[in-house]
């Protein structure tokens, strides 16, 4: 089990699709840095010019462009933010979600299961797919946060300012205004777990769908369908059910609820893990 796990993790994190996906996601996140840093510098110059014209100091409005409302996971106005979270399911599935389908088709699985048990192989494969999907999203987000922290002030959010939009109904709202770094770390963990689970949807689909492109893209359309199905909740419950929205740390449309995130994650895990382990062990690979 230990050896096959190492092999799968190594393959998942060193293949060209993982490296390319992380690079593209990071590149998209850099546009957020360029835009927000430019806006931050322009705002500072404008405030300095206003003070020069007035002849006295005014409120510098330093919270207008601070770390926790400027990084890509905390702001909601740039194209890079919209593109990143729209493509999030693809960032999760492209790195390694297709691997079982390719290995089964090439005959690689036949060679592996003669040396290790099917249970060990499919468990290792499931974990590797999960880790690759989670890291492909978490790494660019973490790098974006760290780069932004080098440029804009890391001020503790103050709810008396209009620049922060996390209200009481949102998950962890108290933590956001008291321990914002813990809040961000918590959301990075959530994004890692949920995107890892999205990647495992591709692996589960490999037992039913016999097209590599479809295996990679179907989870994206599944998340997109869930995203637009939230419209049926209008006038019934103002809660966020779309992963494309609640994986962003601050609310895009409706407040995020922890129980919804946990429920959706559990449903995906139970379905994908059951399919991958039961079908994997039961199906004939020879």
Please determine, for residue 31, whether its predicted confidence score (pLDDT) is greater than 60: yes
Q: Rounded to two decimals, what is the model's pTM?
A: 0.93
Q: Are 88 and 140 in contact (CB under 8 A)?
A: no
Q: Residue 253's pLDDT is what? A: 84
SS in 3 state form for 166-209?
CCCCCCCHHHHHHCHHHHHHHHHHHHHHHHHHHHHHHHHHCCCC
- Percentage of the chain beyond pLDDT 70 is 95
Q: Are 276 and 130 in contact (CB under 8 A)?
A: no
Q: Residue 267's pLDDT is what? A: 98
Q: Are 259 and 84 in contact (CB under 8 A)?
A: no
- Interatomic CA distance for residues 152 and 155, integer angstroms: 9
Q: Residue 167's pLDDT is what? A: 81
Would you place residue 159 in the very low, low, confident or very high pLDDT band (cuts 50, 70, 90)?
A: confident
- Give the DSSP letter of residue 157: P
Determine whether 37 is exposed, middle or buried from the number of CB atoms within 10 Å of its CB (0-12, 13-18, 19+): middle
Please determine, for residue 50, whether its predicted confidence score (pLDDT) is greater than 90: no
Q: Residue 200's pLDDT is what? A: 98
- Give the DSSP letter of residue 156: P
pLDDT higher at 120 or 54: 120
Please determine, for residue 234, whether its predicted confidence score (pLDDT) is greater than 80: no
What pLDDT digit, counting tens, does each position of 99-139 carry? Answer: 999 999 998 998 898 889 999 999 999 999 999 999 999 99
Backbone region of residue 61 per phi and psi (left: phi > 0; alpha: psi in -120 to 50; beta: other values): left
């Amino acid at each position: 089990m230990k050896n096959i796990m190492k092999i799968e993790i190594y393959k998942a994190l060193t293949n060209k699709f993982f490296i390319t996906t992380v690079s593209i996601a990071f590149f998209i996140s850099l546009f957020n840095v360029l835009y927000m840093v430019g806006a931050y510098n322009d705002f500072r110059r404008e405030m300095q010019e206003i003070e020069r014209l007035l002849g006295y100091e005014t409120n510098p409005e330093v919270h207008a462009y601070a770390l926790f409302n400027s990084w890509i996971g905390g702001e909601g106005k740039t194209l890079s933010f919209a593109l990143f979270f729209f493509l999030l399911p693809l960032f999760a599935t492209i790195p390694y979600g297709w691997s079982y389908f390719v290995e089964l088709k090439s005959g690689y699985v036949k060679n592996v299961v003669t040396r290790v048990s099917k249970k060990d192989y499919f468990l290792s494969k499931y974990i590797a797919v999960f880790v690759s999907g989670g890291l492909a999203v978490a790494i660019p987000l973490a790098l974006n946060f760290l780069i932004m922290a080098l440029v804009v002030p890391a001020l503790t959010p103050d709810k008396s300012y209009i620049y922060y939009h996390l209200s009481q109904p949102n998950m962890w709202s108290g933590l956001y205004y008291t321990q914002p770094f813990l809040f961000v770390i918590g959301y990075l963990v959530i994004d890692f777990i949920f995107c890892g689970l999205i990647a495992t949807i591709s692996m589960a689909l490999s037992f039913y769908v016999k097209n590599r492109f479809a295996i990679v893209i179907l989870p994206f359309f599944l998340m997109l369908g869930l995203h637009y199905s939230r419209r049926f909740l209008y006038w019934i419950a103002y809660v966020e059910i779309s992963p494309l929205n609640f994986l962003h740390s601050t609310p895009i449309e409706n407040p995020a609820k922890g129980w919804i995130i946990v429920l959706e994650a559990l449903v995906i895990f139970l379905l994908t893990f059951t399919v991958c382990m039961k079908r994997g062990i039961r199906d004939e690979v020879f």
